[in-house]
Structure 1
């Protein structure tokens, strides 16, 4: 009898195990809350919410901010720079434990799907468009034409994708938006001789490096700087240098991996899945066949391609989010249906079939969100922040910076929202920088780089979503990325120490 070999569990199982572990933490970590201050634009007043969720109103004045130990200009609130409730320093209070039991665990994925419906709709619409384009063979024809033009210059494809996405990450936080790129770029990478891991690396690491080493990202470095009471331009030159160095290191890391598997394809971390992945993305593709790249097919691909710069402009300039992005791609889907030449029934069936292919990805998004729901309902996030702030009190500058990096890495694992972590932590952590004798700029970098480190590996983020999309298991991603994770952790630590000395 053949002995069964161990197979790493699916994304769903990994997330559910983490969900149970986090629920267990709500029994062990004391529940607690900081009082929060927020500005109500409708009534022009501050709303103070205490640990019992009782609220009082205060006039919007500098004196009120000083009363609650928030040393920020009033205009940061009245002009809408800081929109989310801000933790009030010194207000942490332990409260009655809120353990999350079996019923909470079972309900959490349902609530996670409900709260993630905007992302889920976006994913399903992308899948639908791909279904229609695949039905008419436009991808196969386009990839065939592209592969002939890129022959001998394949690595430029990786550079282009990585740099483009890293720029998006560092300027406006391109992260969730990259979900749309995987099904489009994967066939192109495969046809150009790369394995699926290389495509995942170019997209995911481009986004991770860009957002981790943000320069002007309004959802991380800008909001964190505002919450810390400094301008986001402080230290921007140093952040640009760090971003460039980190990008070079990452590109070299990807290049070394490609070089290794070009010499010996069996060294690909997903060599055993190569046939399965190629069947998934290139089932109808034959490089030697004479696939006609008709005007109709070209128009469909042009319509689809144009949606991406429009999306990037909308998100970065017009403050679009998933509602607007989904509306954009749904409009493109309708246009492509008309251009495709398919009958109404064929077009709709292809769209539904394509959306069905990404149902697993959509459900993974909801399950990942359920972990944050358990933490929020267990009321342990504020406790983790409080204990972290106690840990760094009264230590010297270099040690302070390194401990902060570690703290924000841990917090970033549990709190995936960059803006949420910023407004929660900065009022507490920023004043500690003053006592340690370092610039508050150090706190911003420690926050950015610490949370960014978790983006490489945290299952609570997007990692399992894009792995589910391409069919790569989490263990293989960890084998690929953990050496780079260690390099980036050491690099961040060195740059933080240099930052404290200049």
Structure 2
């Protein structure tokens, strides 16, 4: 692999691509027309995020800041702690009467049982505060603060890179690609169906999102060998994750925590969300297969056709006919490789693993592969570090995106936007209300990209609005999920730029690919919300 996250390539990638292209023509053109202007290109993911950060910093000078009082549960003292807008804190007994006093409809056991762990907004307590505009210093410190704040996912990404680097060095991965390509010949579309559907299941059940970063180095070469382009591999993973989390069913980080914060059971509204999951996933698969088959029939139809040689050199550069040999050693390495991802999914979904455990798993797996391949110590360290450096750019994008969120928090504008949104829907017809709520949640999720963070912040404020227009509160939970999920397809403050960096696809190419699908999903979600509103 080359420098996956940057727009340019390192020495061992750039030269092969130039040779495989028509280097003579391009060199002659440059020499003959020195006055020829360079073609404008879309900025890199880093620049896009820095532009977003700058816009957010400017917004903190324009939006009147304010915050809601927050209530949190202290499991050590078994008390509720209320933090007021003034900064004062007061302790209250952990009873249902305290929750009723603050008009919080959630049950006490949701706090004491650990279902609601983050501070929850108290309805009717919005207070404007002294402005805290974010200036030039805060803007430049944001990426650094983001790195500190997201160090867990950053190390996870780097260790994944090291693991992939070691496996690639053994040659086992190339053998596996060739064997799989042979087995799938004539049935390549099933690869799209299976990958998208499985990842959608992961998204709807346990919120598979950051974990998908581990799959790009594995699946991109397989999709390329099957005759597709990198966008197909990217979309199979990212669309699956996004539509799965958008239509979460038992996802503890969105459905369950949002339902708890809204004061309802998580099974309320489950049937419409299951229908949306099935229809949404089917729509994504149909849309992707339609594009994939068009690219397979005519590679020039690819949105990234100009990168074809570069991406094949990067992901299939070591691939050859000799890689078809499957020795017992190769089979053992591929078994470890496959088992690592199965264990990761099981650990996250069943054992409550997070980045510490997942990172440790990939580190140990790297050592096991090193032992099985009998690689010497210096070569192991070299390949591991090279693999990690390949994903350093991706880790930086994650850090910068987190820095944008920090700017919003320090500027104290997230609660202000939530308060203004709640005021917009006052007095609306229930059908129009629920569709507008979905749109508002999409907008708010740009400023609060965390699904659990948005749930505990917004549900106590937004859920009571359903009572006013005569809707069950589960409709608000569905509107929250759909709105947040739709924005996840394109928001720079989410995972999309990090995912694009894995395959060196620019944001404009992704928007050109995904916006038509996003329009279809928005229409589908709106129709289902309207049906449930009037049933």
TM-score, normalised by the number of residues in structure 2: 0.92
- 1:171 counterpart = 2:205: yes
Structure 2 partner of 1:356: 389
- 1:444 counterpart = 2:472: no
- Offset of residue 297 of structure 1: 1.9
Choose which of 94, 98, 104 in structure 2 pairs with 1:70. Answer: 104
- Offset of residue 65 of structure 1: 1.3
Question: Structure 2: how far apart are the matches of 1:361 and 1:333?
Answer: 20
- Offset of residue 390 of structure 1: 0.7
Q: Which runs of 5+ in 2 are unaligned?
A: 1-34
What SS does the corresponding residue of 2:491 show, helix, strand or coil? coil
In 1, are the aligned partners of 2:235 and 2:288 still within 8 Å (CA)?
A: yes
In 1, are the aligned partners of 2:261 and 2:455 still within 8 Å (CA)?
A: yes
- 1:386 counterpart = 2:389: no
Choose which of 293, 304, 319 in structure 2 pairs with 1:270. Answer: 304
Structure 1 partner of 2:332: 299
Question: Structure 2: how far apart are the matches of 1:31 and 1:381?
Answer: 8
- Please tell me the root mean square deviation across aligned C-alpha atoms, in Å: 1.0
Choose which of 38, 52, 63 in structure 2 pairs with 1:18. Answer: 52
Structure 2 partner of 1:27: 61
Question: Structure 2: how far apart are the matches of 1:445 and 1:168?
Answer: 18
- 1:209 counterpart = 2:205: no
Question: Structure 2: how far apart are the matches of 1:181 and 1:230?
Answer: 35
- Offset of residue 137 of structure 1: 1.1
Within-5 A mapping of 1:354-433: 354-433=387-466
Within-5 A mapping of 1:190-205: 190-205=224-239
Question: Structure 2: how far apart are the matches of 1:319 and 1:290?
Answer: 38
In 1, are the aligned partners of 2:171 and 2:323 still within 8 Å (CA)?
A: no
What SS does the corresponding residue of 1:57 show, helix, strand or coil? strand
- Offset of residue 293 of structure 1: 2.2
For residues 191-217 of structure 1, give each alpha carbon's deviation from its aligned partner in whole angstroms, at most 9, with x where no partner exists.
011100000010000000100011111
Choose which of 487, 493, 503 in structure 2 pairs with 1:454. Answer: 487
- 1:109 counterpart = 2:143: yes
Question: Structure 1: how far apart are the matches of 2:323 and 2:317?
Answer: 16
- 1:148 counterpart = 2:177: no
Question: Structure 1: how far apart are the matches of 2:171 and 2:106?
Answer: 57
Question: Structure 2: how far apart are the matches of 1:199 and 1:32?
Answer: 43
Structure 2 partner of 1:242: 276
What SS does the corresponding residue of 1:37 show, helix, strand or coil? strand
- Offset of residue 291 of structure 1: 4.2
- 1:227 counterpart = 2:267: no
For residues 358-384 of structure 1, give each alpha carbon's deviation from its aligned partner in whole angstroms, at most 9, with x where no partner exists.
111111110110000000000000000
For residues 388-415 of structure 1, give each alpha carbon's deviation from its aligned partner in whole angstroms, at most 9, with x where no partner exists.
1111122111011011011001011111
Question: Structure 2: how far apart are the matches of 1:190 and 1:175?
Answer: 23
Question: Structure 2: how far apart are the matches of 1:136 and 1:423?
Answer: 47
Choose which of 68, 78, 86 in structure 2 pairs with 1:52. Answer: 86
Question: Structure 1: how far apart are the matches of 2:152 and 2:323?
Answer: 40
What SS does the corresponding residue of 2:418 show, helix, strand or coil? helix
Question: Structure 2: how far apart are the matches of 1:290 and 1:315?
Answer: 33
Question: Structure 2: how far apart are the matches of 1:187 and 1:290?
Answer: 14
- Offset of residue 241 of structure 1: 1.1
In 2, are the aligned partners of 1:113 and 1:369 still within 8 Å (CA)?
A: yes
- 1:41 counterpart = 2:72: no
Question: Structure 2: how far apart are the matches of 1:262 and 1:142?
Answer: 21
In 2, are the aligned partners of 1:174 and 1:211 still within 8 Å (CA)?
A: yes
In 1, are the aligned partners of 2:107 and 2:260 still within 8 Å (CA)?
A: no
Name whichever of 255-264 and 437-446 sits farther off: 255-264
Question: Structure 2: how far apart are the matches of 1:213 and 1:140?
Answer: 35
Question: Structure 1: how far apart are the matches of 2:293 and 2:336?
Answer: 35
In 2, are the aligned partners of 1:396 and 1:437 still within 8 Å (CA)?
A: no
In 1, are the aligned partners of 2:269 and 2:478 still within 8 Å (CA)?
A: no
Question: Structure 2: how far apart are the matches of 1:262 and 1:44?
Answer: 61
Within-5 A mapping of 1:461-500: 461-500=494-533
Question: Structure 2: how far apart are the matches of 1:267 and 1:292?
Answer: 34
Structure 1 partner of 2:467: 434
Question: Structure 1: how far apart are the matches of 2:350 and 2:503?
Answer: 30
Question: Structure 2: how far apart are the matches of 1:259 and 1:301?
Answer: 29
In 1, are the aligned partners of 2:105 and 2:261 still within 8 Å (CA)?
A: no
For residues 140-159 of structure 1, give each alpha carbon's deviation from its aligned partner in whole angstroms, at most 9, with x where no partner exists.
11111111111111111111
Q: Which runs of 5+ in 1 are unaligned?
A: none
For residues 246-276 of structure 1, give each alpha carbon's deviation from its aligned partner in whole angstroms, at most 9, with x where no partner exists.
1111111011112222332111000001111
- Offset of residue 341 of structure 1: 1.5
Structure 1 partner of 2:27: none
- 1:312 counterpart = 2:345: yes
Name whichever of 252-261 and 216-225 sits farther off: 252-261
